Amino acid sequence: MYRDDHMRKQVAQEAARLMSEHGIEDFQHAKRKAAERLGYTHLRSLPRNIEIEDALQSYQRIFKSDVQDTWLHTMRMLAIDLMEMLSDYEPRLTGNVLSGNVNEHSDITMHIFTDCVEDMMKLLHKHDIDYAESIADVKYGNRIEQLPKLSFYYLDVHVQLRVFPHQGIREAPLSPVDGKPMRRASIAKVKELVETDNI
């Protein structure tokens, strides 16, 4: 049992390293790759996503502490710029830029709310932002919804906009990290966070 727990911890640490150093975003992919590298064959008892998230925070605190605060501040300032641009769509920051667990590969992830996606796309065109459109699975309890996702680069930082119907602001989807309702922050909250960034 002890050996199993020890190996789970090692897999979590290796998955965290892969996510930090190679920009892997998918927890499942990172943990399977880590298990393969370490020769861990108990794939049914891989570490949970929250264990990897904790290991990722520790890894970046140890190995990236000299630059992480600068990355975080820069990304949050860019997020504020975007949120002001998209203010008609009640943007909410989520993901690593909100949690503070960023590295040089991190995306700025936002939820925006509109019943007319085309109007929001026109706004991006107006600002000369070329985006790629796709579909993202979003989980709510026992149901999964497919919603539009727009991806683009904003001043060399990758951005993902998840587009929800206007009423979607009332219910946050579940986080892939801990399975709880996803944390989302308004522009006012992000500005508060920027004031406390350690730069």
Which of 136, 140, 63, 74 lies closest to 108, judged by CA? 74
CB 185 within 8 A of CB 93: yes
Segment 1-58, tens digit of pLDDT:
445 778 888 888 898 888 888 878 888 898 889 989 988 887 777 888 889 888 888 8
Least-confidence region, from 1-5, 123-127, 136-140: 1-5
Q: What is the DSSP letter of 116?
A: -
Residue 41: partners with Cβ closer than 8 Å, 6 or more residues away: 35
Instruction: Give me the sign of the Cα torsion angle 119, 120, 125, 131.
Output: negative
Instruction: Return the percentage of the chain with pLDDT > 70, whole number.
Output: 97
Q: Is the pLDDT of residue 126 over 90?
A: yes
CA distance 114 to 46: 38
What's the mean pLDDT in 127-145?
Answer: 93
Class of domain 66-196: alpha beta
Q: What is the pLDDT of residue 19?
A: 87
Going from N- to C-terminal start, the domains of the chain cover: 2-63, 66-196
Helix or strand run (H / E) with residue 12 = helix 2-22
CA distance 110 to 179: 18
CA distance 165 to 181: 17
Q: 198 or 135, which is more confident?
A: 135
Runs of H (alpha helix) within 39-94:
49-63, 65-85
pTM exceeding 0.95: no
Residue 1: partners with Cβ closer than 8 Å, 6 or more residues away: none
